[in-house]
Chains A and B, each alone.
Chain A
């Protein structure tokens, strides 16, 4: 089926199921899911560790550097974590973009 309705701004001449089954699209989904889901899970666990530790334990109330307590250090670590994972995603996504370009070429 290679016909395209005129209403759509259609870039593809291949139907969606054919694109989904293509090796390149499968590779894109494998790479994306293999990175995104573990990474975001880690970030959320790291994030919730802070309120859980501060709510149910007092271990983070101990001063670490001078008067700066563990809770503040862990809080700053959340900022570092966010920026780091932001840049990692940015870098990974460039590889995703290349696959997307390839899929666009192939689906024409």
Chain B
């Protein structure tokens, strides 16, 4: 066992628990719990967004994919980053102006119907749970590999920690865990990248020419097409990546932690710089691992390549750097799962309990209790699912989460603020079609079906693409539009004037008829 790693893991656990202790003293109301009282600055929230977003899949997964498949792995880096333009240009500010605690709040600001809120909350929960299972299964396997702690114990440790952060410290603790993780991750990545670059005498040209000689792929390492063979699959993946981020509930709720729309905008700008620098550095991680660890050793440690970055750290800086990178990966997992627990719990407690069940009449105390119980329930469900999914390859759940976010959430978010005729029928249809088309297409895809038995089921996949985005995203838009046109025109279209005023200026104007609001 690597004692330095154990000490660093313990230090991270200790530090995050101290944060949670102080955050708990500031978490008294539902507003504190869900939004940290809207008190974060643009820079703080930008770092927290980066910390919430750059998952272990990014840090370990992309580094491994670039090391093993070359250019194709870098597609993820590009898509994950460019997605922030969609967030910045179309979603962040209207969301901040219209919403309160959840994504469903934004849609419900226009269509105040239980069914709209209910379906939006269901989507948030589905996306967060898919994403969380992928993170927890990855976390369990990773900690087992890094520290030798058994899978089950690892999942339970991570599960308990994420529950403590959220239940006691709410959004304040979650945000600071994410900020610290962002700093650690950037520092770790920068150190390794610098060491890799130094090995290539700080010459990009030397790095490119030496890496391609070092890999078994040779010249084709630098060319696209090693991982994605079907052109449509590449396009489909890119669609889901670039449009999905703007519909991910755990990212969207971060915009409620700042005071107004201009600060929400500033936080996206900060996040875009941090995330962009990080994803550029994934090249150094991937190339470094390909050159100084070698694909044979990377695959031997983990077939998917997830150990590329830690092994690279070991090759460059011995046990000490390995321990540091392992601890960074651990912090990364904690920060992401805490954000996911919070987003699923807020959909349960705020949308289903406070609004649908209690019609907005729950007291502050009842709301807090509901939020805490929902967090515990979400954490327990995810841990149980993660324990059952141990032997499954769950990497596809991350792309499924992005696909559902892009197909079910984004169309409805955009049409709510841009389309005058949009109505409740369209909102519900759009979200339901987006969710189920993604689920069904993934269920029929090569992620779950393989003739050679390498997937869960044996047989020919009925849907040929691993990513459903290219079909499910247009279907989500189509569902919303057709649903609107088919429902009677006297069906509530919401008060579009009020919505565009509020979305664009933050002014909560009265409607022409004396305002009666929830």
Binding site for B on A (CB under 8 A): 1, 3-5, 7-12, 14-17, 19-20, 25, 28-29, 32, 36, 39-40, 43-44, 47-48, 50-52, 54-56, 60-61, 65-69, 71-72, 75-76, 78-79, 81-83, 85-87, 89-90, 93, 97, 100, 103-104, 107
A5-B224 in contact given A16-B497, A67-B212, A68-B204 (Cβ < 8 Å) = no
| B85–A1 CB distance below 8 A | no
- For the complex, give the distance between the alpha carbons of A60 and B74 in Å: 15
Q: Does B81 contact A (CB under 8 A)?
A: yes
| A15–B272 CB distance below 8 A | no
Q: Does B2 contact A (CB under 8 A)?
A: no
- For the complex, give the distance between the alpha carbons of A71 and B86 in Å: 23
| A82–B276 CB distance below 8 A | yes
What are 30 sample pairs from A and B whose C-beta atoms fall under 8 A apart?
Answer: A1-B510, A1-B513, A4-B515, A5-B514, A5-B515, A5-B517, A10-B509, A12-B501, A16-B512, A19-B505, A20-B500, A29-B500, A40-B86, A47-B79, A48-B238, A50-B78, A51-B235, A54-B71, A54-B234, A66-B204, A66-B208, A67-B208, A72-B222, A79-B78, A79-B276, A79-B279, A82-B84, A86-B269, A90-B265, A107-B509
| A79–B81 CB distance below 8 A | yes
| A100–B510 CB distance below 8 A | no
- For the complex, give the distance between the alpha carbons of A7 and B510 in Å: 11
- Residues in B whose Cβ lies below 8 Å from that of A54: 71, 224-225, 234
User: Can you add 10 more A-B contacts, CB < 8 Å, to A7-B517, A29-B500, A93-B265?
Assistant: A4-B515, A8-B515, A25-B505, A47-B79, A67-B208, A68-B205, A71-B71, A79-B78, A86-B85, A86-B269
Q: Name the residue on A nearest B242 (C-beta).
A: A47
| A97–B222 CB distance below 8 A | no
- Residues in B whose Cβ lies below 8 Å from that of A51: 75, 234-235, 238
Q: Does B89 contact A (CB under 8 A)?
A: yes
- Residues in A whose Cβ lies below 8 Å from that of B266: 90
| A82–B272 CB distance below 8 A | yes
Which 3 A-B pairs rank lowest in CB-CB distance, beginning with the nearest? A55-B231, A66-B205, A54-B224
Q: Does B369 contact A (CB under 8 A)?
A: no
- For the complex, give the distance between the alpha carbons of A79 and B279 in Å: 9
CB of A31 to closest CB in B, whole Å = 11
A15-B269 in contact given A67-B222, A100-B504 (Cβ < 8 Å) = no
| From A43, A60, A87, contact of B82 by CB (8 A) | A43
- For the complex, give the distance between the alpha carbons of A79 and B231 in Å: 22
Secondary structure dominating the interface of B: helix
| From A14, A52, A69, contact of B509 by CB (8 A) | A14
- Residues in A whose Cβ lies below 8 Å from that of B387: none
CB of A24 to closest CB in B, whole Å = 10
A69-B223 in contact given A9-B508, A15-B509, A20-B501 (Cβ < 8 Å) = yes
| B508–A12 CB distance below 8 A | yes
| A48–B235 CB distance below 8 A | yes
- Residues in A whose Cβ lies below 8 Å from that of B225: 54-55
Contact mask for chain B residues 267-309; partner A; CB cutoff 8 A; 1 contact, 0 none: 0110011001001100000000000000000000000000000
CB of B495 to closest CB in A, whole Å = 7
Contact residues, B201-239 vs A (CB, 8 A): 204-205, 208-209, 212, 222-225, 228, 231-232, 234-235, 238
Q: Does B88 contact A (CB under 8 A)?
A: yes
- Residues in A whose Cβ lies below 8 Å from that of B498: 16
| B90–A36 CB distance below 8 A | yes
Q: Does B506 contact A (CB under 8 A)?
A: yes
- Residues in A whose Cβ lies below 8 Å from that of B482: none
| A25–B516 CB distance below 8 A | no
| B510–A16 CB distance below 8 A | yes
A100-B81 in contact given A15-B511, A89-B89 (Cβ < 8 Å) = no
| From B79, B238, B510, contact of A10 by CB (8 A) | B510
- For the complex, give the distance between the alpha carbons of A44 and B242 in Å: 9
A60-B84 in contact given A9-B508, A65-B205 (Cβ < 8 Å) = no
| From A7, A67, A75, A100, contact of B506 by CB (8 A) | A100
Q: Name the residue on B nearest A29 (C-beta).
A: B504
- Residues in A whose Cβ lies below 8 Å from that of B318: none
- Residues in A whose Cβ lies below 8 Å from that of B238: 47-48, 50-51
| A55–B507 CB distance below 8 A | no
- For the complex, give the distance between the alpha carbons of A14 and B505 in Å: 14
Q: Does B148 contact A (CB under 8 A)?
A: no
| A16–B509 CB distance below 8 A | yes
